[in-house]
Amino acid sequence: MEKEQNHQVTKRNNPYMSFLWIILTLLLLNGLVFPKLSNQQIIATDYGSFIEKVDSGKVKDVAIKSNHIYFTTEERGKTLTYQTGETNDPQLVERLLNAQSPNKNNKISFNQIIPRENSPILDFLLMWILPGLIFYLIWRQAGKSIQARMNGGGNFMSFGNSGAKIYAESEIKTTFANVAGQDEAKEALMEIADFLHNPSKYTQIGASLPKGVLLVGPPGTGKTLIARALAGEAHVPFFAISGSEFVQMFVGMGAAKVRDLFKQANEKAPCIIFIDEIDAIGKSRNTGLGGNDEREQTLNQLLTEMDGFDGRKGVVILAATNRPESLDKALLRPGRFDRRVQMELPDLEGRKAILEVHLKKVKHEEIDIDIVARATVGSSGAELANIVNEAALRAVRMGRKKVTTADLEESVETVIAGAQKKNKILSDTEKEIVAYHEIGHALVAAMQSHSAPVHKITIIPRTSGALGYTMQVESSEQLLQSKENLFKRIVTLTGGRSAEEVMCHTITTGASNDIEQATKLARAMVTRYGMSSRYDMTGLETMNNSYLGGDGSLTCSPETAADIDHEVINIIKDAHTKAKEIISTHTEIMHRAAAFLMEKETITGDEFMKIVEECGENKT
């Protein structure tokens, strides 16, 4: 109620609104009233008609102005104004002196000029109101910037407004119950929530609240969500701002925003400040490429403010980034961001918990969460939320009112490989090649021990460009991978091309993605995992931006880089040879499974393994 009253008072006292209403009123009067008073319709005519009207006594008065003759007549009880061009007529004056006006008693008056002027209201607006308003606005703006300078507000354009979104404690409904799959992160932040609730429990022993907490992890792991949840658990105001909002065109504006943000936070303490994507202003200054004055001043101001405020007041700064290695060392030292919380991709149990949280929001039947969780290895919390939403949308499209396990499985495939392209029709030859290609992957995986079981095989084209795929689902979470297991994965990746060569006696472009993945995995074995007999445990590559997919760069000589290429080629060749041997040995399975797949277009892993068992084959 108090906020509403203050808003109404501000609205009534706003001088801009008063000027606006005055201008609108004057313009309305000018447009509606004055045209009826001043604007006369002028009728163009020829000089002969003018002389004729003069001689017939119809002309009342005449005015000569700017090579034009204006004259008025009385016709049918109305006064009409005419205009004609001035000609070199030496008898015009004599004719006008001798002619009579319409009332027959007076001569024609020809010394009166009919002016066409702007309305007095418009002249008043242009000459007095508009210049006065402009000077007032300039004076008001200059006063604000002078005040901002006196208060340390930075340059001329700075108004001391941080731009942060401020949420009152009653507005935040998110708590740790809404965050799943990040138990370690919640445990680390729970202590901060407890400190904000019961500071005396910690201050009496001499402990102080961590000034800053850095949330680090891949995109979609819930860094912003857990920051809001901390504010919801602690029941304190929440300031949310993005790092990019501090970066401005003019030097000093970002620093002014930082000052204003911490000033507001100290006034509302205890509270939480959350800076998303802090790397936008916190990049290392030791780049050697020349600095950015605005960004560096903003960073320096942030460092100063973090040193200046008292941690016992209960102001906590949370910051999130996907690139912790790019942050300035001064920002990460103790006393500033004291604690780093890792927000990693969820494991199997974490994915189950996240799916359960999101499934509460939709109507569903009994769901086999274990199958869905095992099929989404490497998925973040945001991706799992998207999968559940896609499943709900699919249920609506299918005319059902509840989500099923099949909906979730299909949504997983949609997220991974794209939606089905129902209008994509393959020729019989292409369909046969794709079927043998996918069965080749499945057979090589099935014939190797310690390989992930085949879950599904399909030759239905997808919008991602895949003409088919083979899905493998691990029976349990794999945290460590041996050299043998990685080599078997490469063998499985080469199984598709090997099947094309052995069964169809051709090679196609369908193995492009397999080749890319196999090469990437073989190179990692040599350069990062130390799984090469030639280079032993030597690290030959470093990874940057590991949370954003990774960007590898070799740390070796050009000669060594060439040798690495040879090592990678040898690994791929050995895997390819082994895959062709497996397929050549089990041609009966290939023929039967490929024919079954071409008929059904999609088969399950159990159906495929049934064919394998019927042929009585054993794994190697």
Place of tokens 């702007």: 118
DSSP conformation letters of 5-39: HHHHHHHHT-HHHHHHHHHHHHHHHHHHTHHHHH-
Whether 589 and 445 have beta carbons less than 8 Å apart is answered as no
Asked if residue 453 has a cis previous peptide bond (ω within 30° of 0), the answer is no
Residues 6+ positions from 403 with CB-CB distance below 8 Å? 359, 362, 363, 364, 365, 367, 388, 391, 392, 395
Taking CA atoms, 112 is separated from 103, 104, 348, in Å, by 18, 19, 99
Q: Buried b vs exposed e over 40-56: b needs ≥16 C-beta within 10 Å?
A: eeeeebeeeebbebbee
Grouping H, G, I as helix, E, B as strand and the rest as coil, residue 214 is strand
- In angstroms, the CA 139 to CA 547 distance is 51
Whether 66 and 103 have beta carbons less than 8 Å apart is answered as no
Number of H-type helices and E-type strands within the chain? 25, 15
Catalytic residue from among 294, 383, 432, 438? 438
238-242 and 165-167 strand pairing: antiparallel
Whether 264 and 162 have beta carbons less than 8 Å apart is answered as yes
Dihedral of the CA atoms 259, 291, 287, 221 (nearest 10)?
40
Annotation marks residue 430 as catalytic: no
- In angstroms, the CA 500 to CA 498 distance is 5
Residues 6+ positions from 180 with CB-CB distance below 8 Å? 346, 350, 353, 354, 356, 357, 381
- In angstroms, the CA 302 to CA 275 distance is 11
454-458 and 469-472 strand pairing: antiparallel
- In angstroms, the CA 51 to CA 91 distance is 11
| Catalytically annotated residues | 438
